[in-house]
Copies of this chain bind each other. A is one copy, B any other.
Amino acid sequence: MNDFLEQCRQAVGAPHVITEPADMAGYLTDWRRRFTGRAQAVIRPSTTEEVAAIVRLCNEFRVPVVPQGGNTGLVLGSVPDESGQAIVLSLNRMNRIRAVDTINNTMTVEAGAILQQVQVAAADAGRLFPLSLAAEGSCTIGGNLATNAGGTAVLRYGNTRELCLGLEVVTAQGEIWNGLRGLRKDNTGYDLRDLYIGAEGTLGVITAAVMKLFPQPKVRLTAFAAMQSADDALQLLSLAQGKCGATLTGFELMSDFCLALVAKHFPQLKSPFPDRYPQYVLLELSDSESEEHANAMLEAVITAALEQEVIQDAVVASSIAQSKGLWNLREHIPLAQAEEGKNIKHDISVPISRIGDYIRMTDQRLQESFPGCRMVTFGHLGDGNLHYNVSAPENAADEDFIKRQPEVNKVVHDSVHEFTGSISAEHGLGALKRDEICRYKSDIEMGLMRALKQALDPKNIMNPGKVI
């Protein structure tokens, strides 16, 4: 008889302590299906008190806890290691919207709520919850907070951290910290909230949060522009921000090679331009006034950019269908890339002003070491965040190229470091980049991080082997 699991069953009810391998399987393999870990059990509490009871037992029995939301992470942060010692603490039964306050512009949600469910609840109340990313139909708000998720609206609304006002957390000792404050201003001590956000479950378990809401924009308008270089795209960004202020909510860069891949694998998705150009940008405005107003604003940006020869061509979507078509070009890049074969992905950021130089320099370094490799470069230019992906040369075997991933990573990440950038802009460190980060962070920073981990989780039971 396993005393630990028996007490867990008493705490949450036997049906919610899963130990059958077939039933556990979905919780043990990561989203990209690259790794499968092992666990003693998957435990699914339904209240904060139950989470606390389970963590207290883990603390007592020194059982590692792997908190898990939608398990859509990309850096092996939400699956256990191969030891079989850990439990997976699934938050997916804690999925209530506890409160919506349309005057305070906040909602209180439990960690296991699916992002899309949160977006819909906000919309039902006539408000916008702006966090939006590819996995929104599966990922949870708790996972978004634990990884400080980014997405497509960061330019205007910030990362998940900026969208959160307060947290409820179960500490590594199984105590409940109620920090569910819906305040815009509160200077009463250390910023515990932002310490738990982005800690990937290694300091405690986020069980609920107060998130910010915004007025819904009246109209969204999309445009697509063609230009000679990433530097010109940066000039367009400055110009658009100057004329549109916070109305500019999206600014996505993609290279000609990206669009060529989309056209090759999805022939129905065509570039809106008769000619080809080295780079393209998708712009999105979210306007609180009217379609006419948004249109006039966007036209003014494009006219000025054409006059100044910052761009060579542009279209403004004249219908929702056309706007969807332009977004489709951007959203099909990862799919087209997958059709083309395996590649080596990077989620990097650099200061926005250095993006042009970064791409030039790193492309060149890669060509020197891996002649003929093909660059699939696109991303959230407005945030300095690129998906800087590298495909095998045209006639090379994917498998041979993928074997050289550590070398490719090193060239790309060394270059990021030289440009004072980040080797994980959106995705976190998880188990995947935990060692890699030690190459780039100073001993002092690693030492500070270790001191915090030691202070809040001295027994190292919270998601061990991740982040630090």
Which residues of A approach B to under 8 Å, CB–CB? 101-106, 147-148, 150, 154, 156, 158-159, 161-162, 171, 175-179, 181-192, 194-195, 197-199, 203, 215, 217, 234, 237-238, 241-247, 286-289, 297, 349-354, 380, 382-385, 420-429, 433, 437, 440-442, 444-445, 448-449, 451-456, 467-468
Contacts and interface: CB of A to CB of B under 8 A. Distances in A.
Q: Which of A238, A351, A441, A468 counts the most B-chain CB atoms under 10 A from its CB? A: A351
A183 B351 contact: yes
Contacts of A203: 190
Given A183-B425, A384-B185, A452-B455, A176 B444 contact: yes
A186 B161 CA distance: 11
B424 A187 contact: yes
Given A104-B384, A105-B241, A452-B456, 7 more contacts: A102-B353, A103-B234, A158-B162, A176-B444, A185-B422, A243-B288, A245-B247
Contacts of A427: 187
Nearest to A456: B451
A148 B383 CA distance: 24
Given A177-B442, A215-B241, A188 B422 contact: yes
A297 B288 CA distance: 10
A150 B426 CA distance: 28
A351 B182 contact: yes
Given A102-B238, A191-B197, A192-B445, A352 B184 contact: yes
Contact of A288 (B184, B244, B453, B468): B244
A352 B104 contact: yes
Contacts of A243: 288-289
A125 to B, nearest CB: 12
Nearest to A348: B185
Q: Which of A162, A385, A445 counts the most B-chain CB atoms under 10 A from its CB? A: A445
Contact of A190 (B106, B182, B195): B195
A284 to B, nearest CB: 14
Contacts of A178: 442
A453 B189 CA distance: 11
Given A103-B352, A191-B197, A217-B245, A184 B154 contact: yes
A104 B351 contact: yes
A425 B187 contact: yes
Given A104-B351, A186-B349, A198-B187, A177 B422 contact: no
A422 B186 contact: yes
Contact of A177 (B244, B384, B444): B444
A209 to B, nearest CB: 15
Contacts of A158: 162
